[in-house]
Amino acid sequence: MSKYDYDLITIGAGSGGVRASRLAGKYGAKVAVIEESRYGGTCVMRGCVPKKLLVMGSHFAQHFEDAVGFGWSVQGAAHDWGAMIAAKDKELERLEGIYRRMLRDVGATLMDGRGKLTDAHTVEVNGKAITADKILVAVGGWPAIPDFPGKEHVISSNEALDLPKRPQRIVIVGGGYIAVEFAGIFNALGSEVDLIIRSGHLLRGFDQDVRATLAEELEKTGIKIHRDCLIRSIEKTAAGYSVMFDLGEEIIADCVMYATGRMPNTSGIGLPEAGVKLNKKGAVQVDEWNRSSVESIFAVGDVTDRINLTPVAINEGRMFAETFFNKNPMALDYTNIASAVFSQPPVAAVGLTEAEARTSHKVRLFISRFRPMKHTLSGRDERTMMKLVVDKATDRVLGCHMVGEDAPEIIQGLAVALKCGATKAQFDSTVGIHPTAAEEFVTMRDPVPEKDPAAAEQ
């Protein structure tokens, strides 16, 4: 008999925690899962899933406009924000039910409440102490909003997904994934969107050609990007929220949303007290096996601030369970993890940016920009951009980047090719599917002429 109540206590029922707990349970472990909010976590309840549903819902506006060029008469199309939110909420309820059921199906005990570590093997929940051989911290992250006068007036993506009414004028602060995705949703549905970025470019970390192309495309759709701007203060006035910029400009908006990054959710859950080391950002420091500085305490997902993406958390959870509950040691390979931004048009990429590649390789670049076939009839002024970064010495494709319709679906396939170490010659020998946008990735023959590498700023 184990000296502990459980083999595994998981704190946090998001993507990583649920996958680890389900698998551990399937492999015979006695598991307890503690969740203070909703099962499914950020991705399912406050992130990827509801966001993507809203992206899909808002994108119909463009479909209706485009349909006219193909002979359709689309009159009287109107959007009901409340109906979309209600439909989305119903789907989230269904998903939460599935998450709870999947855990119960493997015999896990579900505890609704806030878990707090009191030592290396003990967690307190709802006033009761429970013990486990291993504890998995999978509590995710939370929006980080800087301090400034008027901060109390702003919302984060959490609230943006549940607004009772669509704001007619919205200011969105930040130029990352969340900011550009929500800018697209509100803009497509007819709101006036002012996107405020503190630097000159959107999407830090993405390839410079992607960043520039996306900004151009967003501006074409009517989103107003304010570059090199910071907000000094926000005041509530009779006309709306008065948003004052550092350089004195003012915008009046019905809603101000901040999407300025996320912080690990580690405060007040007893981590330092239990001896768990956190980094400067408050993230749990773990080794390749997801083990913290305390032998019995592990962490996966956004709380570790490695690559903050749902499929990464799921894989970390899976590998934790395989390693410790199925005698099958597995550690995640963090190279060539594809990601996508569901902006309108969307962005997706896998592998190195041109700037990253140039730090250690001599590169050949292939870039294609074209008007998607659909828009030859729709008349929409939208261009697609595709880029391959190729190692000159080995011919290996180091990075694939795309801005344009279906980019996430296309790049997912190319991620497999990059994992396999595909060369440009192998891309070239692949016969395309016609007529598609994706075929362009296997038909780009002429490298772009060499340019000054210093110009390829990060």
- Enumerate the active-site residues: 434
Would you say 176 or 399 has its CB closer to ligand NDP?
Answer: 176
**Nearest distance from residue 181's CB to ligand NDP, in Å?**
6
Among 415, 416, 387, residue whose Cα is nearest residue 401: 387
Q: Which is nearer to ligand NDP, 249 or 450 (CB)?
A: 249
For the four alpha carbons of 149, 153, 158 and 160, in that order, the dihedral sign comes to: negative
Q: What's the closest the beta carbon of residue 197 comes to ligand NDP, in angstroms?
A: 6
Q: Residue 13: how many CA atoms within 13 Å on its side-chain side?
A: 30
CB of 193 closer than 8 Å to CB of 219: no
104: tokens are 């119960």
| Count, residues near ligand NDP per rule CB under 6 A | 23
In degrees and rounded to multiples of 5, residue 397 shows phi and psi of -80, 120
Q: Which of 118, 126, 199, 279 binds ligand NDP (CB under 6 A)?
A: 199
Measured from the CB atom, the residue of 11 and 172 that comes closer to ligand NDP is: 172
Sorted by sequence, the CB contacts under 8 Å of residue 392 that are 6+ apart come out as 361, 362, 363, 364
- Interface mask (CB under 6 A) for ligand NDP, residues 297-316, using x and -? -----------xx-------
Instruction: Looking at 337-450, list the stretches that DSSP marks H as alpha helix, in order from N- to C-terminal side.
Output: 354-358, 374-378, 407-419, 424-428
Q: Does 10 bind ligand NDP (CB under 6 A)?
A: no
Contact assessment for residue 269 and residue 10, using Cβ atoms and an 8 Å cutoff:
no
Query: Does 174 contact ligand NDP by CB under 6 A?
Result: yes
Which residue has its beta carbon closest to ligand NDP? Answer: 176
> Residue from 173, 234, 385, 456 that binds ligand NDP (CB under 6 A)?
173
Residue 159: φ, ψ to 5° = -75, -30
Spatial distance between the Cα atoms of 297 and 117, rounded to a whole number of angstroms: 10
Binding ligand NDP (rule: CB under 6 A), the pick from 6, 39, 177, 325 is 177
| Residue 315 in tokens | 């894989």
Strands 339-341 and 347-351: antiparallel
Which of 242, 339, 378, 384 is in the footprint of ligand NDP by CB under 6 A?
Answer: 339
Please give the residues from 248 up to 267 whose contact with ligand NDP meets the rule CB under 6 A.
259-262
Residue 179 found at the interface with ligand NDP (CB under 6 A): yes
- Residue choice 81, 298, 324, 342 for contact with ligand NDP (CB under 6 A): 342
What is the per-residue binding string for ligand NDP in 60-99, x denoting contact by CB under 6 A? ----------------------------------------
Q: Which residues sit at the interface with ligand NDP, rule CB under 6 A?
A: 146, 173-179, 181, 197-199, 204, 259-262, 308-309, 339-342
